[in-house]
Structure 1
């Protein structure tokens, strides 16, 4: 049975409700349904406008607490978005990354199996591993994986996420669906280093930070790697397609991405410079020229990379009737426009 959006008796638990994806999902659930929300996170700055909503209950906690896990699992729908997912932390904090992405979600999965809750777990496209330049579409059912050497702690995140997928899929009695995002981007993504976070954010926020600060965009190893960028608004539409087609979604893994938005990181930098110049009304040639940097020098010892990540989206189209729609330049403009407005005063 599909979930009924007009049923006020349904409560969805959103773990990571204050994060980038979680904040958008929270807004969408409150706007598109009559459901209640039980939101869990350790940071709520993105959702200040929702903290006093009568349909919401918020808990400042994380999945490291077994009592919190048991409480979350009592709700009929549990969406788990909680994770350490910043690339620079994969090298510097591998044990913490593994605990965040395996130990804690595995405990939540066991609790949901006991309670009967439907667990929608967010994994990552990183589970496809160290793909090559000539890799074709990555398919949920048949694509294998190869990770880099143990010494490359870059793969701590991917291996933990993959182990969690294996655990969830094999857990008796669990109603589950796994989501593999392909570079969700949009307003509220990541942070600006030194303002509301430390370290190196993901590539779109890194490039946005450099543009706002008037610094060169850093092309790691020349920016040859290719990625697929997907609007967070498409991602939220996917979630609602999932809610509607619940029976088709159970015990399934779905890529969520926009294969039409594949681009090299070097081309991404060029597009973002052009869009930023347009938004600010300045000549593109007045912006600093991108700078090539070595991966290990930039991210730290243990860095490794995947050269291409292009998702097959046939499965979500066939089972859920969903396909991402937002074109790349629109995705980048809406992301950059938000970033400029949010951080311009803090950039100096």
Structure 2
């Protein structure tokens, strides 16, 4: 298939592009390389993709550019769209709300309009576990009410789900929303906890644990996110003939529209997460316990019954294995040198890294058949 991937140089987007290329698809990438975090990391991800999976066209374009997006769809005519670009971050939304309106609302509208004017087989877009907001009944089900977001970021993701439904209803666009739960792994964003925490531990800086470290998070390793996504890609939704308007299900409708949770379904206490990072890095953290921050949810825990039903897959990589892979990449990419108390763990992580292909030159692998 010819697939447009937005956010192609981002964390999830880069893994998605790599997998689609290796599976034999034609990929067009889009990214605006904004300065939310150092664009050098995005450039490094692109080098990694091209070494591992080959070259692909990448358009440096902002989603909110109405004319540019219209030209992109008219000229490229993608068969499938994987929309992963967004302004991310809960706390950033407290200080920069307009960025979320432009990227997550105006930008998504331009994607929907492109799919409307030049019909696609399937639109798959990223939502977030943050939409569950004030809901404290766990595990979170896609059939739960999500009308009480706790941040503008979460509200923008809920709005994306509603916008997609309206376009599915009005124009028959098959649209699938994926609620990602705390994605982590090599090449992750530097504003996310694995890199923030690992850097603080290595540099001996205080590790700020909000809600006094009592959060629990459903960590999901990046490979499990991508496996779920590619299994859903060839399954565009159809209208649910059993949908009851008087007792409506929140995850489907008569329109070709669906929602899925993608999470590890194994929530981990933040303190246990830090304990594991300490062991893998070979250093103790200086923990600073702070109150709950505005916009934070207490716990996340995914019910993935619908994902398992429709893909015969559920995330498999546990936190210890996933963080071991992450630390292997982290110590290499950020050139962490052995120090007192770090030598054994560092050597182990470097050896682990040698078994991975992240940011390593080498022969390009053969692409598999789609």
Q: Tell me whether the two structures share a fold, i.e. TM-score over 0.5.
A: yes
Query: Counterpart in 2 of 1:160?
Result: 156
Does residue 129 in structure 1 map to residue 133 in structure 2?
yes
User: Which of 99, 103, 121 does residue 100 from structure 1 map onto?
Assistant: 103
SS for the counterpart of 2:148 is coil
**What is the number of residues matched between the two proteins?**
306
Deviation at 1:247, TM superposition (A): 4.8
User: Which of 305, 321, 345 does residue 312 from structure 2 map onto?
Assistant: 321
Query: Counterpart in 2 of 1:268?
Result: 273
Deviation at 1:267, TM superposition (A): 1.9
Alpha-carbon spacing, 1:85–1:325, altered in 2? closer, same or farther (3 Å): same
Query: Counterpart in 1 of 2:15?
Result: 24
Query: Counterpart in 2 of 1:70?
Result: 70
Query: Counterpart in 1 of 2:141?
Result: 139
Alpha-carbon spacing, 1:49–1:41, altered in 2? closer, same or farther (3 Å): same
SS for the counterpart of 2:206 is coil
Deviation at 1:61, TM superposition (A): 1.1
Deviation at 1:49, TM superposition (A): 4.2
Deviation at 1:295, TM superposition (A): 4.6
Query: Counterpart in 2 of 1:258?
Result: 264
Does residue 291 in structure 1 map to residue 296 in structure 2?
no
Deviation at 1:161, TM superposition (A): 1.1
Query: Counterpart in 2 of 1:116?
Result: 119
In the alignment, the residues of structure 2 paired with residue 65 and residue 305 of structure 1 have an alpha-carbon distance, to the nearest angstrom, of 31
In the alignment, the residues of structure 1 paired with residue 222 and residue 48 of structure 2 have an alpha-carbon distance, to the nearest angstrom, of 19
Deviation at 1:216, TM superposition (A): 2.8
In the alignment, the residues of structure 2 paired with residue 159 and residue 49 of structure 1 have an alpha-carbon distance, to the nearest angstrom, of 33
Query: Counterpart in 2 of 1:312?
Result: 303
- Per-residue CA deviation, residues 139-169 of structure 1 (Å, 9 max, x unaligned), is 1123444234xxxxxx110111111110111
Deviation at 1:344, TM superposition (A): 3.1
In the alignment, the residues of structure 1 paired with residue 64 and residue 21 of structure 2 have an alpha-carbon distance, to the nearest angstrom, of 27
- Per-residue CA deviation, residues 299-341 of structure 1 (Å, 9 max, x unaligned), is xxxx232111111100011112221110111111111221121
Deviation at 1:123, TM superposition (A): 1.0
Matches within 5 A, 1:227-238: 227-238=217-228
Query: Counterpart in 2 of 1:186?
Result: 185
Alpha-carbon spacing, 1:271–1:115, altered in 2? closer, same or farther (3 Å): same
SS for the counterpart of 2:175 is strand
Query: Counterpart in 2 of 1:219?
Result: 209
Alpha-carbon spacing, 1:214–1:347, altered in 2? closer, same or farther (3 Å): farther
Does residue 89 in structure 1 map to residue 88 in structure 2?
no
Alpha-carbon spacing, 1:72–1:326, altered in 2? closer, same or farther (3 Å): farther
In the alignment, the residues of structure 1 paired with residue 204 and residue 328 of structure 2 have an alpha-carbon distance, to the nearest angstrom, of 16
Alpha-carbon spacing, 1:38–1:144, altered in 2? closer, same or farther (3 Å): closer
In the alignment, the residues of structure 2 paired with residue 228 and residue 330 of structure 1 have an alpha-carbon distance, to the nearest angstrom, of 15
Gaps of 5+ in 2: 34-41, 239-251, 340-370
> What's the TM-score once normalised by structure 2's chain length?
0.77
In the alignment, the residues of structure 1 paired with residue 299 and residue 323 of structure 2 have an alpha-carbon distance, to the nearest angstrom, of 19
Does residue 35 in structure 1 map to residue 25 in structure 2?
yes
Q: CA RMSD in A?
A: 2.3
- Per-residue CA deviation, residues 44-69 of structure 1 (Å, 9 max, x unaligned), is 41112446987611111110111332
Alpha-carbon spacing, 1:14–1:71, altered in 2? closer, same or farther (3 Å): farther
- Per-residue CA deviation, residues 73-104 of structure 1 (Å, 9 max, x unaligned), is 32111111111112331111012122211121
Of 212-221 and 44-53, more deviation after overlay is shown by 44-53
- Per-residue CA deviation, residues 203-240 of structure 1 (Å, 9 max, x unaligned), is 22221221232223211121111110001001111122
Contact (CA 8 Å) 2:217, 2:270: kept in 1 or not?
yes
In the alignment, the residues of structure 2 paired with residue 240 and residue 207 of structure 1 have an alpha-carbon distance, to the nearest angstrom, of 30
